[in-house]
Amino acid sequence: MTEAENKRSLASSRQTQAMDPCLAQAGVSVGFDQRLAPQDLAGSIAHARMLGATGLVSPEESRLMVEGLTRLAEETREGTFPWDPALEDVHMNLEKALTDRIGPAGAKLHTARSRNDQVALDERLYLRDVIGQVTKDLWDLRASLTAKAEAVGEAPMPGYTHLQRAQPILLAHHLLAYYQMLKRDAGRLRDLAARLTEMPLGSGALAGTGLPIRADWVAEELGFPELAANSLDAVASRDLLIEFLAFGAILMTHLSRFAEDLVLWCSTEFGLAELPDSLTTSSSMMPQKKNPDGAELIRGKAGRAIGNLVTLLTVVKGLPMSYNRDLQEDKEPLFDTVDTLALALPLATRLVEGLEFRLERLRLLADDPYTAATDLADHLVRRGEPFRVAHRQVGALVAHCWAKKIGLRDVEPEVLVSFCPKAEPQVLQGLTLEALLVARDKTPGGVAPRLVAERTRQAKAELAAEKERGRL
């Protein structure tokens, strides 16, 4: 048998004609799925031990398999393993190498398993490994936001709706809004981890196996508390990957929104913050430029994560039960999102840590001439005016002030009462920036300094508890 025929025999035993080169090229996945080598080898080692323990192979054959697979693990880890595209994928490359090195015993490794349940196992093991690192990076970012919120203390800033100045808030409150988003993201990741409990190996191609395996032994060695309840589902489903990609898309959307804030804050027009030179770039043409490229790249890469989710949803949506080769397309979107998060999360953390706020300008803009309008309307409500009437009256007063180019606190008492008959004449003088902030203490999520300080302490306590529970 020639080398080419030997390679073909590993992939199929039915075909009598050589594979068309176009099909062969389309089927090659080792260029990207070799990334699953650590998980594939871990699963194979556990499987080989089980085969020996159950008598499906001899103890000596099992020992040879485990030793050979362990050496392959070292080579793949060191980057010295010679991957061969002619063998299609990570599974066939490793099995062929094992058989070449230990002889006929290597050909018995695939006893009672299929590449279908093999890859399902690999992907679960891979997700489990990835979740640990992403959780740590996400914790670091949340911790940096909390530390920055604590550092800025009670510094005010303008709050925006429709990108128009709305009401004054605390800068810490704005930062902690992103902490809350990322906290939910961390919860989504924990939810996914809690579903990575079923071990699919033993499901075979789709119907299980008639050989006397002990899948429970393999599951115990690999740290799975359960066995797959349905062999068709085990090999055909990719919802765990989809869930991770959905998590990644939502997380990157949150990071993109924060990145957009940084771009705006660091612009000359806003002038609210500045990034250090080490986290910005210059222009190739304009020497005066200081561009927030890190934030822009995070914003741009969010599109990749969203696209990866759509890609896998589209691949899976039309597949009949059970395994189909379309599922080869699940890995590149997964790996790309993993890589995107591995870059974006630490970069976002560094951006937060390096961010320097211009607190005086933030305070100046927060003390906008018209941001007391809502509080004036609330004052009228407390005096018995229906809110819609109060809203209309204050709106008319603001229009008057705008035309006169004066602020609300510059309005004469008699003018105030002419627009708002139930207003106390001196009420506007009491609507200072500090008063507006302190007044927002009627709901737990308000911007009052007391509440924001309490939520900062709470965030620090949450992070410390997660660290203590070993969720990092």
3-state secondary structure of 220: helix
| Active-site residue, 174 included | no
Q: Which one from 9, 267, 282, 283 is the annotated catalytic residue?
A: 283
| DSSP for residue 320 | P
| Active-site residue, 400 included | no
Residue 140: closest CA among 457, 466, 469: 466
Residue 42 has which token pair? 């871990």
3-state secondary structure of 9: helix
Q: Say if CB 149 and CB 179 are below 8 A apart.
A: yes
Angle between helices 239-265 and 293-317 (to 10 degrees): 160
Q: Which amino acid, one-letter code, is at 274?
A: E
Strands 356-357 and 273-274: antiparallel
**Percentage helix, strand, coil, to 5, in the chain?**
70, 5, 25
C-alpha triplet 164, 167, 173: angle, nearest 5°: 105
Q: Which one from 12, 13, 162, 284 is the annotated catalytic residue?
A: 162
Radius of gyration of the chain (CA): 31
Burial of 465 (0-12, 13-18, 19+ CB in 10 A): exposed
Contacts 24+ apart (CB under 8 A), 205-211: 205/114, 205/116, 205/117, 205/235, 205/323, 206/114, 206/116, 206/231, 206/232, 206/235, 206/236, 206/322, 206/323, 207/231, 207/232, 209/112, 209/113, 211/56, 211/111, 211/112
| DSSP for residue 71 | H
Q: Which helix (H) or strand (E) holds 145?
A: helix 115-152
Strands 164-170 and 156-161: antiparallel
CB crowding 195-222: b at 16 or more within 10 Å, else e: ebebbbbbbbebebbeeebebeebbebb
Half-sphere exposure of 17 (CA within 13 A, CB side): 5
Residue 449: closest CA among 89, 150, 75, 87: 150
Q: Give the C-alpha separation, 213 to 210, whole Å.
A: 8
Residues annotated as catalytic (active site), given as ranges: 162, 283
